[in-house]
């Protein structure tokens, strides 16, 4: 954000410019190396032609030039190695500087936040929270306190009455007959119907005749 508003720091801009310059130099050396390798190859081909033509002196001259080109190629390779080494060191230094700048920015932000947050204000806020919590607790206790006729009830008497009710219910459960367990595969035994009197027998026969 700060870089977008005010630009990059001066040291970071210099590092980027230096890296760009090193990259350009490295590309230039690589191009020269390719040209020299090509020339060395051409001298080899010329030497072969002179050898076939029995021109030994000219062939040796071609080989000498080839070696000169090869020496220059080796020198360019050393230059490239030094540039690579310089670029690695510069990139490492750039990363270190950026890390330090980030840590410094974080420390400054933390310091500003601590200044904005006064310890006395924090203590005052906590005291207010504790006070409000205590007030709410007292309000809840006041609302839960019985009033009117309910306030005159004796808790001990109510508990004793509850125990009597529980005891009576338990006694009633004990007095109830225990049901006979059912046996698998057997039908429950039905109680025998009461024997009817002679008058009831005659009445039932009369009702049967009337139904017909």
Q: What is the pLDDT of residue 207?
A: 65
pLDDT averaged over consecutive 10-residue blocks of the chain (212 residues)?
45 77 93 95 92 90 93 94 92 88 90 79 85 88 67 71 79 72 56 64 68 57
Q: In angstroms, what CA-CA distances link 158 with 25, 140, 141, 163, 170?
A: 101, 24, 22, 9, 19
Q: Which DSSP helix (H) or strand (E) runs through 71?
A: helix 56-116
Q: What is the pLDDT of residue 82?
A: 94
Please state, as a whole number, how many other Cβ atoms lie within 10 Å of the Cβ of residue 5: 6
The tokens describing 79, both together, are 């230059």
Q: What is the pLDDT of residue 65?
A: 93
Question: What residues contact 41, with CB distance under 8 A and at least 6 apart?
Answer: none
Q: What is the 3-state secondary structure (H, E, C) of 159-195?
A: HHHHHHHHHHHHHHHHHCCCCCCCCCCCCCCCCCCCC
């Amino acid at each position: 954000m700060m870089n977008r508003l005010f630009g990059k720091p001066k040291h970071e801009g210099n590092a980027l410019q230096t890296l760009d310059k090193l990259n350009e130099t490295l590309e230039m050396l690589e191009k020269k190396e390719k040209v020299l390798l090509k020339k060395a190859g051409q001298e080899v081909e010329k030497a072969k032609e002179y050898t076939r033509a029995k021109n030994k002196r000219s062939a040796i001259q071609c080989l000498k030039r080839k070696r000169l080109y090869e020496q220059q190629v080796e020198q360019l390779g050393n230059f490239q190695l030094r540039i690579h080494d310089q670029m690695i060191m510069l990139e490492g230094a750039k990363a270190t500087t950026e890390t330090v700048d980030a840590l410094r920015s974080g420390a400054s932000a933390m310091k500003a936040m601590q200044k904005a947050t006064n310890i006395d204000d924090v203590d005052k806020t906590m005291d207010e929270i504790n006070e409000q919590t205590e007030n709410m607790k007292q309000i809840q206790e006041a609302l839960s306190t019985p009033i009117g006729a309910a306030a005159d009830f004796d808790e001990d008497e109510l508990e004793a009455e509850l125990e009597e009710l529980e005891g009576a219910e338990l006694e009633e459960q004990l007095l109830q007959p225990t049901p006979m367990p059912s046996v698998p595969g057997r039908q429950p035994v039905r109680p025998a119907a009461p024997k009817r009197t002679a008058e009831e027998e005659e009445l039932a026969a009369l009702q049967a005749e009337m139904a017909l």
